[in-house]
Every structure is written in structure tokens, then in C-alpha cells.
Amino acid sequence: MDILAKPEFAGRRVVVVHHDDLGVSHAANVAHRALTRFPSGSIMMTTAWAAEWAGDTDHDLGVHLTLTSEWKSPRYRPITCGPSLRDSRGYLWPTVEEAWAKIVAAEAEAEMCAQIEAALALDIDVTHIDAHMGVVLRPDLAEIYHRLAREYRILAFLPDPVALGHMQLPATVAATLQSMTRASSLPKFRPVDGYSGPPNTRADWLSDMLSALEPGLYHFIHHAAITTPESQAFPDWETRQADFDALQARGVNAVLDKCVLTTYRELRDMLRDAGEL
């Protein structure tokens, strides 16, 4: 199914406003519940606060597949026992480069399945998967990631081939991924992520960026969290507060009013009803 051929989407900017890193802190979970206009997000099932989403039926929730743990604190361990998933202290690898160099595909598959099953065990209606730090873009892991979406009859965040061309990936990796995404019948998204921008201009940046989007299907990433002593333990806490503030700003919402806001649940159900998922 060509999602953008749907009459309600044709010629429009169709946007999933997506909250990454749910469960990473209570502060992130509180922020997501406060941003009622934007129900989509994905949960890191390796974190202490993932269980706070148990039984939730109000939000469009996926699994933020986690094979890396980048902070000095807190750090996360895999759910499964695969030795290739762990550094010398038993934690997930801190960088994508180390994860790509060390992880055995079969052990990564077992871990990804375990994280999805952990969400299902909490009675979460899992609508999609995406990946923390993009670690599943290693081609053999990407094939597993895509296959799991089909097996669980859910969506996966798949960057469209044009977007992949703009990502900083090794040429051979980008070519393999472009071939895979072109062949997939799942929807492809253009990613939008302002994480690296300065917090003090976040609302203006978002307004300008959203205004400049062409018609298409977008996965717009944010990491909103309220400021608490807990959230201030994260080095990027100001960025997370800036996301929370910007998504409530009048100018940002005025631009989003001119877009079509959708969710992974809506898109998943469209494909299931059409017999394509």
C-alpha cells in the first residue's frame, strides 16, 4: 500500500511526532503523558521505568530496540545472555562502532525478540519498532529488524532510500540498506531530528524546519523530558527540556496544524485492514 496515495494524505506533509527513549527516566514518561497531542513514542525495555507503561491503552507505543548504552550513568544491560552483546562489565556496548564490531547477529535477534516480548508481556499494544542510536543499520541486523516487524505484524521505522543517502554511513552499508528499503512493502519515512541543535533556539528551529518540509511521510524524533533531579543526571537534560517546551510552543503547533498528524497505530491498522501486514 502506498500510504501517501490515501486521499487524506495525498500531497500533504504527513508527520508522526515520535518520542524516543521512553522509560529512560520517569521525567521522560511524565513529559510524554503531558504532550497529549503527540501520543507516539517507543520504550527502551532495558530501563527501570519501562514498566510504568504496563497496560497503557492511551498511547501509540513501540519498542526502542536497545543494543547500546552510551551514558556513563545510567547504563543498561541486555535482557538476554548473549556474550557478544556485553562489554567487559556486562553492559551493552557504549558506541555504535563497538556494537557493530562485536555483536553476533543471532544473539542480537534473540535480544530484539526478548525486548518486543517484554513489552507484550506488559500488555502494551506494540505498534512499531525503531532502534536506539540506529544500531540496527548494520545490514545483517537490518534484515532481522525488518523481518521481525513482518513477523509481529507491526511497522518499523525505515528511512526512505533518499534519506539514507544523506546519512553518514559507509557507502557499502548505505547501498545495501537502500536496496532493502526499496524492496520492502512497509512504509518508508523521512527522518527529522533536531537533537544536535542548541536548546535555546529549539522552538524557532522546529518551526523553520517543519515549514520547509515538502509533501511526504515523516518520522519526527524528539526526546522530551521535564527537568527534575533525576533528569539532570543526563548530560543532555537541557536538550530534553527544550524539546518538551518547543512542542508546546504556539509557533511550532501552528506549523503542525498545517500538516497531517498521524500515528504508527493508525498506519499499522491501515495495513492490517488491507491485508498487507
Cα–Cα distance measured from residue 231 to residue 217, given in angstroms and rounded to the nearest whole number: 31
Known active-site residue 132: no
Asked if residue 60 lies in contact with residue 38, where contact means CB atoms within 8 angstroms, the answer is: no
Catalytic residue among 64, 146, 223, 243: 223
Task: Find the angle CA(140)-CA(141)-CA(144) to the nearest 5 degrees.
Answer: 95
User: If you ran DSSP here, which 8-state letter would residue 89 be given?
Assistant: T
Q: Are strands 60-65 and 216-222 parallel, antiparallel or unpaired?
A: unpaired
User: DSSP for 20-46?
Assistant: EEETS-HHHHHHHHH-TT--EEEE-TT
Residue reference for cell 519498532: 129
Chain mean position to CA 109: 18
Catalytic residue among 20, 21, 60, 160: 20
The length of the chain in residues reads 277
Q: From the DSSP assignment, how many helices (H) and strands (E) are in the chain?
A: 10, 8
Q: Active-site positions?
A: 20, 223
